[in-house]
Amino acid sequence: MNKKTSQQIAFIIFRILGIFVVGILFWILGFIIYNGIGVISWKFLTEPPSEGMTGGGIFPAIVGTLCLIAGSSIVAFPLGILSAIYTSEYAGNGYIIKFIRIMTNNLGGIPSIIFGLFGMSLFVNTLGFGDSILAGSLTLGLLCLPLVIRTTEEALKAIPDSFRTGSLALGASKLQTVNRIILPMAFPNIITGLILSIGRISGETAPILFTVAAYFLPKLPTSIFDQVMALPYHLYVIAVSGTDLEASRPIAYGTALVLIVIVLIMNLMASFLRRKLKKY
Amino acid sequence: MIEAKNVNFYYGNFQALKDISMVMDDHTVTAFIGPSGCGKSTFLRLFNRMNELIANTRLTGECLVNGENIYQKSIDVTELRKKIGMVFQKPNPFPQSIFENVAYGLRVDGVKDKHFIKQRVEESLVSAALWNEVKDKLKKSAFELSGGQQQRLCIARALAISPSIILMDEPASALDPISTSKIEDLIHVLKKDYTIVIVTHNMQQAARVSDKTGFFMLGTLIEYNDTRKMFLNPEKEETQNYITGRFG
């Protein structure tokens, strides 16, 4: 077989695989939109569930998920970004740092239910936060910390060293170099990492199961010590343990659709921010 | 005056510089030539302590600038780097405007006086022979400039903090011949006010711009002499061989 035919065959295989992957994605999306679009209405988005979860809306769950996104972002973003700056800009490449890096990666691979149980034992029980937005946010924050650290490190590493040496050679300190040159350059990519982790946070069910999520709670939270409903857990509840599964099925699809749209909006915001921030 | 006394430098177990001693006078241009990996860039980077950024390196001997050992404890390395500017092989402007690039060194030094910064930026760009080309677009990104202009911007950036010495690490090797000759002209002019040390792969360039030339090979300073003498009548056979292109 000559070069040209083998290349053509390879490309055909790549193309089929590519179409296959994208196809699955569109199929899932289409399936959810097709089944869920019917229940989406202003009422659905702004009212609590009613009639044993077979009617009404999902407003408390939307609010709850947004609270958890905000709470865990506050926990994970500063912590993750700062530790990534430390490990990639300051700490060098010694054995301890290598070990920490491996452990961070391992932490990212731990099943989320373990984070949930850990959060329950530490935040809910030992520290006495109870089932609350605080406990849930801390748990979700820990969960996405490795992802935030990882992506921030990658973003920082992508900046060529010539910018660092250039700045240091002008008498700038390391901190000034990081603040004035490296972080602004890495920012668009850091944002991307943060958005990815928000996607992860908003979809996780296991970590919030024992730390914050309420089965049914039409009242909106008034403090960080309140429980909330959350979209993924609500979806799980009405899909497997509602009072009338058949009747609540469309609501489940609607909930899934809302969850996907929230993640989509986050992504759009991210790419908008990226373009906005990329001045040069 | 820049002076090295019995300098040895190691990357881990590899000895990159072997017992180098030399003196570079004020307001002269000194060129370092030699084959790749001979240690000339490493030697240059000792004088603004850039080698410290590389892990696992070791230095013995003394590096003196105006009689002061720049590796003694009391030396603040950021202050040192303000006095000893550096221009790198590849132009490395920051992703900022042309103006901000030149103002950077002043800003990190804590200068707040806007009028002074503006004046210094203009002076530096004039000194770097770039002012006429950029004066109408100071707010534009530095990345919009050509490679040669970017390198002159980097020189202006180094000049802005009023150093007394400028180290140049192959400043023209990534540039086209016209940009190269502009940089060389600039070196001739800057020599009046600055002490310049330049590493170059290009022997004609060393011959054109420098007063004195040091020839390095395998971490050793083989010969250090007046440039004219070095190129017309070198003392060492290795120098003769290298300059005439018999190896390297």
Q: What tens digit of pLDDT does each residue of B54-71 get?
A: 888 999 999 999 989 999
Mutate to test the interface with A, among B101, B104, B143, B154 (most CBs of A within 10 A): B104
Structural domain includes residue A17: no
Residues B124, B194: Cα–Cα separation, whole Å: 13
Q: What is the DSSP string of A96-107?
A: HHHHHHHHHHHH
pLDDT of residue B196 exceeding 60: yes
Average pLDDT for residues B83-108, to the nearest whole number? Answer: 94
**According to the model, what pLDDT value does residue B200 have?**
92
CATH class of domain segment(s) B2-243: alpha beta
Smallest Cα distance from A103 to chain B, Å: 23
Give Cβ neighbours of residue A84 (< 8 Å, ≥ 6 apart): A148, A149, A150, A152, A153, A156
pLDDT of residue B247 exceeding 70: no
**According to the model, what pLDDT value does residue A216 have?**
79
Residues A202, B99: Cα–Cα separation, whole Å: 43
**According to the model, what pLDDT value does residue B10 have?**
93
Average pLDDT for residues B167-182, to the nearest whole number? Answer: 89
B78: chain A residues, CB-CB within 8 Å: 171-173
Specify whether the CB–CB gap between B95 and B143 falls below 8 A.
yes
CB contact under 8 A, B104 and A184: no
Q: Predicted confidence band at A223 (pLDDT cuts at 50, 70, 90)?
A: confident
Average pLDDT for residues A84-96, to the nearest whole number? Answer: 87
Residues B11, B7: Cα–Cα separation, whole Å: 14
Q: Which residues 85-104 in chain A show a CB within 8 A of chain B? A: 92-93
Residue B157: closest C-alpha in chain A: A170
Q: Which of B48, B55, B81 sits opposite A92 (nearest CB)?
A: B55
**According to the model, what pLDDT value does residue B134 have?**
92
Smallest Cα distance from A81 to chain B, Å: 21
Token pair listed for B116 = 């002074």
**According to the model, what pLDDT value does residue A58 have?**
87
**According to the model, what pLDDT value does residue B150 have?**
94
Q: Which residues 183-222 in chain B show a CB within 8 A of chain A? A: none
**According to the model, what pLDDT value does residue A280 have?**
52
Give the rounded distance of the alpha carbon of A40 from its chain centre: 24
CB contact under 8 A, A180 and B48: no
Structural domain includes residue A210: yes
Mutate to test the interface with A, among B56, B76, B92, B96 (most CBs of A within 10 A): B92
pLDDT of residue B165 exceeding 90: yes
Can you give the CATH number for the domain in which A179 is found?
1.10.3720.10
Q: What percent of chain B shows pLDDT beyond 70?
A: 99
Residue B54: closest C-alpha in chain A: A92
Mutate to test the interface with B, among A95, A163, A168, A170 (most CBs of B within 10 A): A170
ipTM score here?
0.90
B93: chain A residues, CB-CB within 8 Å: 166
Residues A158, A152: Cα–Cα separation, whole Å: 10
Place of tokens 């196809």: A23
B95: chain A residues, CB-CB within 8 Å: 181, 184-185, 279-280
Smallest Cα distance from B94 to chain A, Å: 7
Mean pLDDT of chain B: 91
Q: Which of B50, B88, B105 sits opposite A171 (nearest CB)?
A: B105
A279: chain B residues, CB-CB within 8 Å: 95, 141
Q: Picking from A30-34, A196-200, B146-150, which range would have the lowest pLDDT averaged per residue?
A: A196-200
Continuous segment of H or E residues that includes residue A260: helix A245-277
Q: At what angle do helices A59-85 and A133-157 cross, to 10 degrees?
A: 40
CB contact under 8 A, A169 and B48: yes
CB contact under 8 A, A170 and B141: no
Residue A280: closest C-alpha in chain B: B95
Interface check for A2 against chain B (CB to CB < 8 A): the answer is no
pLDDT of residue B246 exceeding 80: no
Residues B106, B45: Cα–Cα separation, whole Å: 22
B141: chain A residues, CB-CB within 8 Å: 279-280
User: Would you give the end-to-end CA distance of chain B in angstroms?
Assistant: 31
pLDDT tens column, A38-76: 888 888 888 888 777 677 788 899 999 999 999 999 999
Q: Which of B53, B93, B109 sits opposite A171 (nearest CB)?
A: B109
Of residues A242 and B184, more confidence is placed in: B184
**According to the model, what pLDDT value does residue A30 have?**
93
Token pair listed for B225 = 């002499």
Interface check for B55 against chain A (CB to CB < 8 A): the answer is yes
DSSP E strand stretches across B127-232: 165-169, 195-199, 212-217, 220-226
Average pLDDT for residues A213-238, to the nearest whole number? Answer: 85
**According to the model, what pLDDT value does residue B40 have?**
92
Residues A194, A179: Cα–Cα separation, whole Å: 19
Specify whether the CB–CB gap between A140 and A65 falls below 8 A.
no
Q: Picking from A37-51, A58-72, A143-157, B14-28, which range would have the lowest pLDDT averaged per residue?
A: A37-51
pLDDT of residue B49 exceeding 90: yes
Interface check for B48 against chain A (CB to CB < 8 A): the answer is yes
Q: Which of A93, A166, A173 sits opposite B94 (nearest CB)?
A: A166
Average pLDDT for residues A122-139, to the nearest whole number? Answer: 92
Q: How many domains does chain A contain in total?
A: 1
Residue B88: closest C-alpha in chain A: A166
pLDDT of residue A14 exceeding 60: yes
Residues A61, A53: Cα–Cα separation, whole Å: 12
Average pLDDT for residues A113-133, to the nearest whole number? Answer: 92
Structural domain includes residue A30: no
Q: What is the pTM of this model?
A: 0.83
Q: Predicted confidence band at A1 (pLDDT cuts at 50, 70, 90)?
A: confident
DSSP for residue A8: H
CB contact under 8 A, B94 and A163: yes
Backbone angles phi, psi at B63, to 5 degrees: -115, 120
Specify whether the CB–CB gap between B64 and B131 falls below 8 A.
no
Structural domain includes residue A21: no
Specify whether the CB–CB gap between A217 and A229 falls below 8 A.
yes
Q: Predicted confidence band at A242 (pLDDT cuts at 50, 70, 90)?
A: low
Structural domain includes residue A264: no
pLDDT of residue B110 exceeding 70: yes
